[in-house]
Structure 1
Amino acid sequence: MQDLLSKTESTDLGDLWQRRQQLSPEEMGRMYAIVTRALHPCAPSELRSLDESKQELIAQFIYAKVLRLHAVGTPEPDDAEDPERAPATPSSAPSSAVALCAYFKRYLIDCTRASRLRRRVPIGEDGIGEAQLEAELGANDEEENALRDHGLNDDQVKAAARCFIAALPAPERLLLCEGFGQELAGGLSGVASRHRIASYHYRAGKLGLVHMRAALPRDYGHTLMGSWIQKTLGITIERENMSAIHRVFKILALEASCVS
């Protein structure tokens, strides 16, 4: 595989990697750009067995495994059980595209294993139509009852969703409303292109749009959407709460689709 990183980029990568959980927003953006560039020619065979695009998988990899925003000082279960999958220590920080591709391949292997155990939430980068959302909201008593178990109803979640949407920075609001709440051509990349949103995959990762899964990873609570679900709605991101979380996703998408 061709190593596209310059000497400066390789040096910056090592430095940023050693401080990757204390980076400023500007440094995070620099790390994102370097890793994205390094992985551009990387094409592991595992990509063919996953539904997501390579660009989306790279964004997920950077968010969860490179920046490791999910758990400072706490290894993920797979990392703890398998020393070969343990995150790199500062002394072993990758300094080339080849090394990064090896880490990316490990991540894809984990994704491939996990994909066999879960189904995709019917909300993702392609979005779903408003009529379909309304039909699903009215048809799923299990999800509605799950919300009640948390002391919530649809109207309360709708009101909270409107406040959440209104408080988002403009780029994130556009990604949510047009890439999550509407069924528009091009998905998130189309939204970014229309509105000239820079680093849209990084923004989407921080927002929570690249983690739409039936079983959300535990770091999802550190995204903007996940934090809102946990702190504002009081629903912990756990497997047993997925019915309520699915309901919240659908309500949020419906409210987002109504924002011009």
Structure 2
Amino acid sequence: MRLPPIVASVCFALLCSTAMPPAWSAEPFQEHIQPLLQAHCAHCHGPDEANAEINFSTLRTTADLAQRPQLIEDLIKVLDSNEMPPEGEPPLKAGTRSHLIGALKKQLRAATSGIATAPVPMRRLNRFQYNNAVRDLFEIDLDIFALPEKLMTRHSRYLQSGITQMPKRVDVSCDASRPRAGLREVQPFPKDLRAAHGFDNQANQLSLSPLLLDAFLRLSVSILESPDFNESHVGRWERFFRAPENTDNLRQQV
């Protein structure tokens, strides 16, 4: 039997009110987060020694933690980058660290769900940002363009998860006077025209003419058709660009 709309609405409301507990009805902080903080962090962030003015002993409930969303975000960052716990403190197992980060992210979402945030206007990337975005997207080991604006280049991956100290030596160079060549046969980066109050890639002046859109499309095609865009330079070649072994059922392989 099909219920009338008003009856169905009332039933759904009653179901939600009984099946969905309040956000802070349980104590996930005391059950999952506080024991780990006490075991691995309280020595440096407790009542006797509160490094960086952080004292975890003042956090007793989930509601206490919810009042400090910035602290939750900072905890997630230092845990995710393996900065904490520091050397000399009991380390966190990989599974425990992952579990703690997941619990903190859940609490951060709950703590910030009712906070109004200002909208972030969109804007286009400049040439340097576009270069880095495409390189990261396809894991290309060459720059897309020759970049004289690239003042400093590092030649060693010292920023890696799991490394808690800077290496004794870091190899860097400045190629501004003699920029390295980018991918061959790539179209130049499209230039933005001047707008009434500055360049029109500013968020409050953002516009995209058909000619500019066509220029960006031509640029993207030229990158894919560059002789240097191949398995030797593209880290994601096998995943995205390798020719299929069996052409009989391409849809299933895709």
State the TM bucket, normalised to the shorter chain. Answer: under 0.3
**Richer in helix (by share):** 1
Q: Which has the larger radius of gyration?
A: 2
TM-score normalised by the chain length of structure 2: 0.27
TM-score normalised by the chain length of structure 1: 0.27
